[in-house]
Amino acid sequence: MIEKLRLWLAAEANSRFLTEPPYGSYAEAAEQFVRDLQNSPLPQSIAEQVKAHVYSTLVTIVELRTRKILWELSQGREPKNTTAEEERLIRPLLKILRARPHRREAQEYVIVQFVTPHPAIITEDFKQIGPFNKGDLAKLPPRDAKDLEERGVARLLRLED
């Protein structure tokens, strides 16, 4: 059991993503450990040291895996190879992740060049940019670019073939 946990910890430490856990849940690992310890003829003092070592190893595994899960979620991805406890943890977070509006893609922006100085603006996607000097370039949502162009403040740059 201890070797199995050691290998799991090494795999997690050496991987950017979650590795396949050797147990379906942390509870299953704990139950297996308790059974193994009860059947062991170890003296009490050594058994206590083994418990402390196993506890420390499991806590480190949980910490590493939790960080990986949060990183994957922050990247908009659903973590794979999760334990039962991790599934219960991330299920509500995944619901929120799936319900949030998707970020605009880069191709939904256009480039404008300012033809006059202009103060800072807040774009339709709630980003504050500027202020601008004559000749400055900016990447804007099309609606904001069109508004500035219609007011004679900026001109839309188009790629020519």
User: For 15-40, how does the pLDDT look when each residue is reduced to its tens digit (9 = 90+)?
Assistant: 989 999 999 999 999 898 888 888 88
Same domain as 6, residue 75: yes
Taking the C-alpha atoms of residue 121 and residue 93, their distance in angstroms, rounded to an integer, is 33
More confident residue, 18 or 99: 18
For the chain, percent of residues with pLDDT exceeding 90: 58
pTM exceeding the 0.75 threshold for the entire prediction: no
CATH number at residue 115: 3.40.5.50
Q: Which range among 8-12, 55-59, 90-94 shows the weakest confidence by mean pLDDT?
A: 90-94
Residue 29's nearest CA partner among 51, 48, 3, 1 is 1
Do 66 and 42 share a structural domain? Answer: yes
- Domain identity same for 89 and 142: no
Domain enclosing residue 144, as ranges: 106-157
Task: Report the alpha-carbon distance of residue 60 to residue 13 in Å, rounded.
Answer: 10
62 shares a domain with 113: no
On whether both 32 and 77 belong to a single domain, the answer is yes
**17, 68 contact by CB (below 8 A):** yes
Mean pLDDT of 53-59: 92
* Average pLDDT, integer, range 86-111: 78
For residue 124, pLDDT over 90 is answered with: no
Rounded distance between C-alpha atoms, residue 58 and residue 118, angstroms: 58
CATH number at residue 46: 1.20.58.1030
**Cis previous bond, 131, omega within 30:** yes
Domain count for the chain: 2
